[in-house]
Structure 1
Amino acid sequence: MRGSLLSLLTLTSAVSAWLPAERGLFKSETRSLSIGQGRSINRRYNPDKIRGVNLGSLFIVEPWMMGQAWSEMGCGDQKSEFDCVLKLGQDAADAAFKQHWDTWITEEDLDKMKQLGLNAVRVPVGYWMVEELVDASEHFPRGGLEYMDRLAGWAAARDMYVVLDLHGAPFSQEIHQPFTGQYSEEAGFYQTSQYERAYTFLQKMTERIHQNDAYRTTGMIEVLNEPQRTHDSLIPEFYATAYSKIRETEANLGVSEDRKLTIQYMAESWGAGNPRNVLGDKNDVAFDDHRYLKWAQIEQSKPSYIATSCGDTFGGNNNSPIVVGEWSLAVDSNQEMNADWEPQGNKDWYKQWWGAQVQAYEKGLGWFFWSWKVQLGDDYRWGYRNAVEAGVIPSNPDEAAGLAKC
């Protein structure tokens, strides 16, 4: 994850490859809601929006957000998974990462998500999950695919929608970003040989999704997270061919139209170009926008943050339907620990801003908060569960509009 520019755009079309509504995935439920003084009422609701969280640092560790666990793995002085595997050695690293996969996200976590009204997860993964793609010069943990299968099955058992996101591309799509799996000095992804490895990853995972029942609620695959913004071959070569390779794989498997995956791209607002230039009017795709006001060029005041989120619209230039794939409650780094912004003394304001963002992002298909959990002490602004436990995010997302006061 990292920041993106804000855009004031609009939402338009629908999608034909499957989204939750096409399979009735988000069923109506009756929930008991507290109304104070020990009283409660039953309320029936039928959410038709994606309301989810990223499972950040599960399959691609970002040390900044899980320092304690990273140290316990023996990786505390390392910048990325690549560096940690190189330090520990392959066998010891495999054991450390398997312990991490067993404990960072559990079935209890998914149960808690459901209790909080969440219905979807976005899962960042690296290309090295398909181990045949890793060459001798690369160092990544092995065995993650088994845990991905297990996670998909857990989500399916709970009727939770899954987006599989290629977060770490071969040779890295961005420099100095552990979310790529390596703290690289060069973004070497943008060449045909590396694109070919990414196509293989996307095809192998497409096959797995369609052939393994554990993935029965996995409906979307994102071809690349947060690319650099300066590569002319990204859209005409990689984006166009990635689409063709996924659809070719599904055709070879005999996948029916209503079962085809929705193929997702970073929206034009990310700044790396407009995917519609090669996709035309295809309606079996979706777009991803990352809304981090932390890095936006706006006035650093609380009213400005609220007004920006309340008025936020997106999805123009036919970049729709759109999901806000990442967002948080983090504010400008120069302000975040000042008295007016620090997390413990400003909970009411953060609660309002959470509501303002939710009501905005539900103008599209919905949203995925970054992330489900973090290890940042009493700073809850990057962790959905942390913020719930701090009393900032309510247990029912339906409360967003009332809290936003837009």
Structure 2
Amino acid sequence: MSKFMQKLQSKIVRVLDKRDGEVNAPSNIPALVQPPTPRQIYHFRKQHGVNLGSWFTLENWLTPSLFQQAADPKSSEMDVLRGLGPQGAKSMLENHWAHLIDAGDWRWLVQHGINTVRIPVSYYHFLPGHPDPEIRRLMHGTEFEPFAEIYTNAWKYVVSNAIQAAREFHIGVLIDLHAAPGAQNTDSHSGLSGGKAGLWDSKEYQKRTVQILVAMAQEIVKYDNVVGLELLNEPKNNNRLMSWYDEAIGAIRAGLGNDAQDLPIYISDAWDTNWYSKYVNNHSNPASFLVLDHHLYRCFTNQDQSKSASQHANEVHPSNNGPSASMLANASKETQGSLVIGEWSAALDPASLSSYPDHGSKLAAQREWGVAQWEAYDKHCAGSFFWTLKKEGQDRGWCYYTAVEQGVIPAQADRFKAAFREGKHSVQSLEAQGQMKHQEAMQAHVAWWSQHSSNPNEFEHWRFEEGFKQGWNDSMTFFFGGEELGGSEIGFWGQWKRLRTEAHRKERGNSKMVWEFEHGLEQAIRQFKETLL
């Protein structure tokens, strides 16, 4: 057995044997000799994901059967409660939470290359059952306070049926606060049907939402397969949002203390991608793992409807320099890879398919659109989450099951996982490839700077060499992460680079040439992927 595999087994496999899903990860910067831990692999791997929409936060167009007795206008979860009353709503919802997603679903997801799920939850799922009365009091005065009794068991279902059940299948979980007090946007998926983003009209609600997020973070950080906490789903963009992000991130980091590094924080770009890309880059550091979430749909606006499926596909496919592809590339560059597509679909307005004469051509056009997106997100993003896994009635645009079955998106979401399962690469072959790539990269690096620098002696090329070796070995550990986490790819390469560079500074001394270590590590991660695929 190679030294690499011996190190891997001693550092990773024994940790994976913990069955409760909780670990105590070190709060300091890990040493360079320490290979990525299971928690780090969950957090930093590329996330091939799907949303579990309308499991907890209800949406009438996804699960209309739950809205049959809802009060008018039958569009939000509040309407369901008002229509059914406390006893009827509690019985129906607990049955729904217990059975919508089961072991068969988790197994199917793993078989199709899904390694992470995004789960929309609301403040009223979290607060009523909390053991701390001070946390429960955060429900007071909110729209859902009269219905708190309905939700006393909701968070138990989130933990047992979602977080812990997902971990049994080695699936990561992104917890997304989909509805805040007062509603953060005007859509009914924020829990209310009033069409008003009341969160932004109430300083009390804004403060309370921060407190809710801190308490939620303290709960979910216990689980190594929770990949992050998303502060708000699709918040209304306004001049308060950025400062509220500052407050929320600061409070969560302070509330977690030494565990702050163990929970990535995701923020919505509120469809102002350029601005919030800069925000994420400016606020990220080795102790602050921030991720930007963009939602990409092309079926709602007049402009969307004026374009055919092929036009939409051409605009997003990474081989073209279309506006959607360029937006993703620029955001990825600005955030140093900390970009995910938190929601996307294969859906199009019927107008975008009207020029295709028959069912077969429409299906092919929709497949072109779905595959183009998948290729773009795989190239430019650290993860993507299809919306959504299940929708009542077959719908190849919005239901992941149907989209896979009808071929509008690839059946295998993860190329790395597929290569791992097929056994295309052995440890020995990739170690040999790494040595060859390292020599080539080192020679090219030294030669370039010898030719393009007025003072070649000022460089510390040994830092580049160490960075390349580090990046290759880390990529190997992600890929050969045991049977449970094997087939993983470093997705959040920029944040991983921050961690390793900080360790390099501590262990090897700081200098103006530390950038050489960064370049070497980044090149190795990129070349490992090129070698593997």
1:262 to 255, 260, 264: 264
Is there any run of 5+ residues in structure 2 with no aligned partner, and where?
A: 1-27, 129-135, 417-533
> How big is the shift at 1:17?
10
Confirm or deny that 1:331 pairs with 2:348. yes
Q: Aligned partners of 2:358 and 2:103: how far apart in 1?
A: 32
- For 1:343-362, list aligned pairs within 5 A: 346-362=362-378
Aligned partner of 2:59: which letter? E
Task: Determine helix, strand or coil for the equivalent of 2:79.
Answer: helix
The 1:25/1:305 distance shift into structure 2, 3 A limit, reads farther
Is there any run of 5+ residues in structure 1 with no aligned partner, and where?
A: 1-15, 28-46, 401-406
Q: Aligned partners of 2:124 and 2:357: how far apart in 1?
A: 39
Confirm or deny that 1:380 pairs with 2:376. no
The 1:223/1:343 distance shift into structure 2, 3 A limit, reads farther
> How big is the shift at 1:160?
1.0
TM-score (norm 2): 0.60
Structure 1 equivalent of residue 13 of structure 2: none
Structure 2 equivalent of residue 218 of structure 1: 226
The 1:274/1:393 distance shift into structure 2, 3 A limit, reads closer
Structure 2 equivalent of residue 243 of structure 1: 249
1:170 to 171, 177, 181: 181
Say whether the 8 Å CA contact 1:219–1:261 is kept in structure 2: yes
Structure 1 equivalent of residue 507 of structure 2: none
Task: Determine helix, strand or coil for the equivalent of 1:318.
Answer: helix
The 1:174/1:269 distance shift into structure 2, 3 A limit, reads closer
- For 1:265-344, list aligned pairs within 5 A: 265-267=267-269, 269-270=271-272, 274=276, 276-277=278-279, 280-283=282-285, 284-295=289-300, 297=303, 299-310=306-317, 311=320, 312-313=325-326, 314=328, 315=331, 318-320=334-336, 321-332=338-349, 334-335=351-352, 338=354, 340=356
Structure 2 equivalent of residue 37 of structure 1: none
| Percentage of matched positions with identical amino acids | 28
2:383 to 350, 362, 366: 366
Q: Aligned partners of 1:185 and 1:17: how far apart in 2?
A: 45
The 1:279/1:184 distance shift into structure 2, 3 A limit, reads farther
- For 1:105-254, list aligned pairs within 5 A: 105-129=101-125, 130-131=127-128, 132=136, 133-135=138-140, 138-139=143-144, 140=147, 141-142=150-151, 143-150=153-160, 151-175=162-186, 177-190=187-200, 191-211=202-222, 215-229=223-237, 231-236=238-243, 238-251=244-257, 254=258
Root-mean-square deviation over aligned CA pairs: 3.0
> How big is the shift at 1:277?
4.5
Q: Aligned partners of 1:267 and 1:393: how far apart in 2?
A: 25
Aligned partner of 2:292: which letter? F
Q: Aligned partners of 2:280 and 2:409: how far apart in 1?
A: 39
> How big is the shift at 1:339?
6.7
Larger radius of gyration: 2
* More relative contact order, 1 or 2 (CA 8 Å, 6+ apart): 1
> How big is the shift at 1:374?
0.6
Alignment length (residue pairs) = 350
The 1:76/1:171 distance shift into structure 2, 3 A limit, reads closer
TM-score (norm 1): 0.78
The 1:61/1:26 distance shift into structure 2, 3 A limit, reads same
Say whether the 8 Å CA contact 1:265–1:275 is kept in structure 2: no
The 1:222/1:243 distance shift into structure 2, 3 A limit, reads same
Say whether the 8 Å CA contact 1:235–1:273 is kept in structure 2: no
Would you tell me which structure has more helix in proportion to its own residues? 2
Deviations 1:41-71 (A, max 9, x none): xxxxxx9521110010011111012223443
Structure 1 equivalent of residue 90 of structure 2: 94
Q: Aligned partners of 1:137 and 1:178: how far apart in 2?
A: 16
Q: Aligned partners of 1:90 and 1:272: how far apart in 2?
A: 44
Say whether the 8 Å CA contact 1:263–1:285 is kept in structure 2: yes
Q: Aligned partners of 1:270 and 1:343: how far apart in 2?
A: 36
